[in-house]
Amino acid sequence: MDAAFLSHLNLGTISKVTPVGGGDINQAFRLESSTGPIFLLLQPDHKKEFFTHEVNGLACLAPFVKTPQVLRIGEWGNNAYLVLSYLAHQSQGDAFALGTALARIHQQTSPQGQFGFDESFTMGTYTADNSWQKSWSTFFVQQRLLPLRKMVRDQGLWPEELDLSFQAAIKQFERLMMDYQAQPSLLHGDLWSGNYMFGLNGEPILIDPAVFYGDREFDIGITTVFGGFSDAFYRGYQATYPLTSGYERRILFYQLYYLMFHLSQFGAGYLAQVQQKLVSINQQSD
């Protein structure tokens, strides 16, 4: 790594730089500094504003769960960078407490009672429109599902025969929302198993948020797409903020969103899962 860049960061003497897993979106490194270990994220060909939403998201979550501390945000050449405190961690810990922490986060609602956030955010090549809406159904369909469908269609990844089942799914979602009072809860927004960990004492930690205010079942639905969340996690959640009856049907649509997002970012390998999710959604209306 460029010595001039490391000097620019002003983080003490850097003795070692090690690439680490930082998700699918950013380049990530652990820096061994004279002040202690540090976590560095780089996003090529972006301005520092690329990381603004993550910084704001961490600030939103920090009162309710442990998160990394933001040390630096800026640009170097054509790269945006974000420097975070490095949290010693392990894969196992107090999953019940993780569920409890998420429930406490979801109990925070938007000040004006609307769905969205003050800024949009970008994950990979997908930019999520967070413009405020009074209706959750309108927000989720118009600012999540339809833009993703256009994106994958423009990429040649959306067979035309999917449109009928997709439109039927949207109509079903809108019907379900007529009998369900979604609240504009603070969401992590990208809660897959790679975005939580535990401190060495077992304390839950959340990372890489894509926060906005939306239906809390959105986060729950995402946790179920690829697994990695234990029964204790869901028990902790339910003990603190029980889900409303019928959530099993509604989270199918949030699973669809997440699979469509992966189709848009990682290609045709996710198409079969999107197709199957649409089948599952439409079968439940029979």
| Cβ atoms of residues 106 and 185 within 8 Å | yes
CA neighbor of 140 nearest in space, from 109, 176, 191, 88: 176
Tokens of 33: 């500094």
**How big is the chain, counted in residues?**
286
Q: Which residue has the tokens 């609307």?
A: 114
Give, as one character, the DSSP assignment of residue 183: -
| Cβ atoms of residues 211 and 61 within 8 Å | yes
CA neighbor of 42 nearest in space, from 81, 3, 83, 85: 81
Tokens of 124: 């990979």
Angle, CA 205 vertex, CA 218 and CA 71 arms, to 5°: 110
Please give the positions annotated as active site. 190
Give CA–CA dist 4/76, Å, rounded: 10
Q: Hey, which bits of 77-129 come out as E strands?
A: 79-85, 89-90, 121-123, 126-128
Containing 98, the helix (H) or strand (E) segment is helix 95-106
CA neighbor of 162 nearest in space, from 261, 284, 238, 274: 274
Give CA–CA dist 162/284, Å, rounded: 17
